[in-house]
Amino acid sequence: MYNVRYHIASLAGVFLALALGLILGGLVVQRGTIDQQQGALVEGLRKEFSTLRESNTELTAENERLDAFATQLVGDSVEGTLRGKTVMIVTNAGREDGVSAATEAIESAGGTVAVAVILKPALGTADAKTRSGFTTATSAAEARSSVAASLVAEWLTSGSPRSLTATLTEAQVLRVEGLASGQAVSGLVDLATTDGQPDPAGIEIASAFGRLGPAVGAQTRTSGTGVAAAAHRAGVAGVDTIGTPLGSYSLVALLNGAKVGYYGVAEQALALYPEMPTR
C-alpha cells in the first residue's frame, strides 16, 4: 500500500543526499582552490625570501667595505692630532667595552691614556662616614662638586703631589692608572656608570674639567648608559657612538677642541659627528 509519509521521507532523504553531495563537492573544489592558492603563496614567499637574502648579502658586503673605508679615512684624518697629550678616561670597575674603544681612538691619534677607576658609586660621597675622610662638605652634592674640582686641579698640573688622589686611593674609592707625577692631563673622557646610569661623580668631574679643557661624556652605540646625554646637560660634549669609525673621529675631534655639543644617533644630537676641518 502506498504510504505518503514514506514517500515524503524518501524525497527528503534524496534532497538531503543531494544537498550533502553539493556541499561536499563544493568543499572539494574549494579545497583544491585553496591548496593552489597556498602553493602559489608559498612559492611567491620563497622567491621573495631568496631575493631578500641575496640583497642582504650584497648589503652586508657593501657595509663592510664602507666600514673599512671609514676606518682608514678616520685613521688618516686623526693621525698624530693628540701626540704629546695625555687623556684621562674616567670609568667604573668592571667596564671594558667603552674603555677599550676610547683607548683605541685616543692612541690611534697618538695620545697617551690614563685611567681613573671609580671603585665606589659617586666616589663614596653619598656615605657621610666615607666622605668625612677626604672632605669637610656636609652634603653629598657639595662633596662631589668639591672633590671633582680638586681632582681636576691635581690632574691638570704636572708635578703636583696629588694628595687628594692619594687619599681617595687609600680610601679605596678611586684607582688611577697610567698617570705619572710629571704628566699633566690634556683632556678627559667620562664613561662611568652606576647600576646602568651615569655615575654622578663622573659627570661632576667631566663638568669641572670642561670648564678648563676638553671633556667628553661617551658611550658605545649599544650600551644605552645615558652618559653622553647627562654630560651634555652638564655643559660638556657627548658622543654616543664610540667603538665605530664615526665615534672615534668625534671623540678625537672633541678632545682637539671641536665645537661642544651632542654628537651621535640620538634624537637630541646636534649632528652625527663634529664638522670636519677644511683644507
**Domain 82-263: which CATH class?**
alpha beta
pLDDT of 44 > 70? The answer is yes
Closest C-alpha to 101, from 191, 180, 178 = 191
User: How many angstroms separate the CA atoms of 79 and 107, rounded?
Assistant: 9
Query: pLDDT per residue over 150-170, tens digit each?
Result: 999 999 999 888 999 999 999
CA dist 223 and 100 (Å) reads: 14
> At 215, which helix (H) or strand (E)?
strand 215-220
Q: What percent of the chain stands above pLDDT 90?
A: 58
Cα-Cα end-to-end distance for the chain: 117
Cβ atoms of 248 and 254 within 8 Å: the answer is: no
Residue 93 pLDDT grade (very low, low, confident, very high; cuts 50, 70, 90): confident
The bridge status of strand 112-118 relative to strand 174-177 is antiparallel
CA quadruple 86, 221, 263, 80: dihedral, nearest 10: 30
96-142 pLDDT per residue, tens: 679 999 999 999 999 999 999 999 999 999 999 898 998 888 899 99
Residue 1's pLDDT is what? 45
pLDDT of 2: 47
How far is Cα 50 from Cα 125, in angstroms, rounded to an integer?
A: 59
| Dihedral sign (CA 179, 184, 187, 190) | positive
Q: What residues does each domain of the chain span?
A: 1-78, 82-263
Give the pTM: 0.77
- Report how far apart, in Å, the C-alpha atoms of 74 and of each of 69, 109, 186 are: 9, 10, 21
pLDDT digits (tens, 9 = 90+) for 1-20: 445 555 566 656 665 666 66
